[in-house]
Structure 1
């Protein structure tokens, strides 16, 4: 029974890390950094500088919990005064906002359950190692997943991008032409950077957790000084 619980805990680790990565990357500072890089692809239709950054930040804020949501995009305009986002783009961003919100809420619930498990089991000689063992296994499972996923992201990003959207979004609302504002604000290079940085952040978290969980388990051994 303890082994089953360890596996369940381990399976939550990588998703928690992925959501943490997107918490970091879905920030104003990251978007500003990306768009202000010298080698960031220019918009072939002339949207540039602070106007492009303004719209990119508006897109980001529209999916963040607690914001006005898609209404921000409905009010947004291009420099010529025309609506910045079409109906397909609005539908897609609605889906993104819903998915991100669900992921953030679920992550908090899972972390809360893990904390409750630790509090409830930490005084049981039989069960007190379950949480740290689960976290340790989850960290190493994350390494294994990274070994498989990182080469795909680096060498076959287009296929990875398509498969990702096919899994999380229904229909083809995420397919845009080069004239659509979303693709002009967030070109493929932007998403390549997001994917690579997210993978790096996930692996870094796994390293920290593997070290911490190993130390924790040693402390819980009879000769490790735990009480």
Structure 2
């Protein structure tokens, strides 16, 4: 529950609550899905199958992240709008430039955050992709 300090409009507070609820679902999926994925992954037991699984998963992730980067560079406003319309009520997240939420977290912040997170994911993903390739190509 957010306490109304008078700095944010009710609409901004509602959006922050919606974000909190979305993140709650995302983290539950990660906390349950991560260990389940590891159990299923290691149950493969064959290094080549494990490698192919890593390689394909990392390649799909790479395609998605490159799409996000290209889309961000071409039209970040449209990407931002599509994301918000997908996860939130289309009329709940649009604010005035003078609203506190946009002054604290301006669009430039979200643009930079999107690009930085994408680059970090690509770097980490490349290690999984390389490991997957090495395991897949292993002879034993």
Question: What does 1:7-156 correspond to in 2, within 5 Å?
Answer: 70-71=1-2, 74-76=3-5, 83-122=6-45, 129-156=48-75
Moved more, 97-106 or 138-147: 138-147
1:75 Cα shift? 4.8
Contact 2:95 2:102 in 1 (8 A): yes
- Pairs aligned (count): 140
Q: How far, CA to CA, are the matches of 2:132 and 2:78 in structure 1?
A: 35
Partner of 1:27: none
The one of 205, 208, 213 aligned to 2:132: 213
More helix by share: 2
* Runs of 5+ unmatched residues, structure 2: none
2:89 counterpart of 1:170: yes
2:119 counterpart of 1:200: yes
Q: How far, CA to CA, are the matches of 1:187 and 1:147 in structure 2?
A: 24
Aligned Cα root-mean-square deviation (Å)? 1.8
Partner of 2:101: 182
* Runs of 5+ unmatched residues, structure 1: 1-69, 77-82, 223-227
Contact 1:117 1:131 in 2 (8 A): no
TM-score for the superposition, normalised by structure 1: 0.57
Name which structure has the greater RCO, CA cutoff 8 Å, separation 6+.
2
TM-score for the superposition, normalised by structure 2: 0.88
1:143 Cα shift? 2.3
